Amino acid sequence: MPADQDVLNGINGTLIDGSPRPWAWVRVRARTVFGNLQKNKPFTRTVDGRPVASSTSQLDHDIGTSEQVSWRYVASNGMVFDLKDFVLLQIEHFIASTDEATLDAYVERARQLRPYPVGFPGDVPGT
């Protein structure tokens, strides 16, 4: 197979015949709004008869990895945090310290997908 086709198959997460690489399922996400992952599951694939938010695409894997392991922090109490750990703690703290009406207002604002700023280098048409 030509190298360019091999690279394209890796980016798409497919084998030579176009089927998904069976060993390459990774849970990743797409740009979305609050609560959308629970309903629409970007990158959804059917595994054992049920939808799973995952992808076989090497490109999706790379993006997910960069988000998850971009840094580690050793806190003053010796605990090691990565971005996901910290965000989970922040979510729980935020819920516990925010009254319900304010929380509802924040959730409503987070449900809106806003356009990228004009000239933003990462802008992808249609996203």
Task: Count up the domains in the chain and report the number.
Answer: 2
Looking at this protein, which amino acid is placed at residue 38? Q
Residue 62, CB half-sphere, CA atoms under 13 Å: how many?
Answer: 7
Catalogue the E-assigned strands of the chain: 44-47, 50-53, 72-74, 80-82
- Is residue 127 in a domain? no
- Is residue 34 in a domain? yes
- Is residue 66 in a domain? yes
- Domain range enclosing 86: 71-119
- Is residue 106 in a domain? yes
Residues 21 and 63 in one domain: yes
- Is residue 126 in a domain? no
* Whole-prediction pTM: 0.47
Please tell me the predicted confidence (pLDDT) of residue 55. Answer: 73
CA distance 100 to 61: 36
Please tell me the predicted confidence (pLDDT) of residue 92. Answer: 93
Q: Tens of pLDDT along the chain (127 residues)?
A: 677 888 888 777 788 887 878 777 776 665 556 666 566 655 666 656 666 667 777 777 777 777 666 677 888 999 888 777 888 899 999 999 999 999 999 999 988 888 877 876 666 555 5
User: Which residues have C-beta within 8 Å of that of residue 53, sequence separation ≥ 6?
Assistant: 27, 28, 29, 37, 41, 42, 43, 44
